[in-house]
Amino acid sequence: MGSLRNPVGPLPSSIYWRRRAVALLLFALFALLIAWAVSSGDPGGRTGGDGKPGGAEPAPSITPGPSGSGPAISEQPGGRDESGGTGEGSGTGGDAGTGTDTGGDGKNGDPAAGGAAKDGGTGLAEQVPAGSSLPDCAPGAVGLTVRSVKPAYAPGERPRFELSVHNGSSVTCKADLGPKKAVLTVSAINDGENDKVWSSKDCPTAGGSLLLKVPAGRTVTHTVDWDRRRSAPQCATPPSTPAAPGSYLLEAAFPGASVAPASFRLEKD
């Protein structure tokens, strides 16, 4: 211990103390170099073979950048659908072949009924038999509208008419859209005068009844084709000449309902 505090040798003790100081300084510097090399080579701690952090130290936090200054988009592109179409009672019908209102022998212009009734635009309405337990639609509970499917028809093309019945009550009922109850009349418009050409009640076939189920608050639609032939009351023989080209008025009568007429044209060749 004495030799450490008082160096022994041929040289003065101050030289030995300088040598010891230099050695300690070199050792400290070497330790600092090793620590710096380790810290600069792996700043996030020890890593595994796949380069992912393997130490237990938490990953450094990331400060988020500034948010955009523009307003946020709160609606999807395109906006709301404003078509307004409900599909209720808007079907054009078609020949569905129910067989309840088909054309007879054809000589009196009795139409071939479409027989396809659309329930609120969602499908075919149900035809019910005469003995159905459904109550009859009260006259004031249903409303009827009529229209020509097309505004004009080419030569030889059969005009098609659409009857729509809306049940405004809260009770499902059955409505008779047969040619005797829902009476369709076609009249030629000549110089302001209406000349009747055809009526569905002149000579109906199959008893003239067509009972359809009308759900509460819904609309059913029935279509009728007209073969352009004239008709006469009580199945009398009508004029043999077909309806001439020109403007025509379509009217409908239904018990307890006021129905607005519609118009259409038969085009020339």
The DSSP element (H or E) to which 20 belongs, if any, is helix 13-41
d(CA 186, CA 204): 15
Per-chain mean pLDDT for the chain: 73
The answer to whether residue 76 scores a pLDDT higher than 70 is no
pLDDT of residue 8: 60
The set of residues, in sequence order, having a beta carbon less than 8 Å from that of 106 and lying 6+ positions away, is 227, 229
Mean pLDDT across the stretch 165-180?
Answer: 90
Strand blocks (E) in the chain: 112-113, 118-119, 142-148, 152-153, 160-167, 173-176, 183-190, 193-199, 211-214, 219-225, 246-253, 262-266
Residue 238 has a pLDDT of 86
Rounded to whole angstroms, the Cα distance separating 232 from 196 reads 10
pLDDT (0 to 100) of residue 70: 41
pLDDT at 75: 37
- For 146, 180, 204, the CA distances from 243, given in Å and listed in that order, are 20, 22, 19
- Which pLDDT does position 124 carry in this prediction? 56
Instruction: Please give the torsion angle defined by the CA atoms of residues 12, 16, 17 and 22, in that order, rounded to the nearest 10 degrees.
Output: 140
Tokens of 40: 């600069």
Residues 259/164, Cβ–Cβ less than 8 Å: no
pTM above 0.85, yes or no: no
Which pLDDT score is estimated for 213? 92
> What pLDDT, on the 0 to 100 scale, is given for residue 54?
47
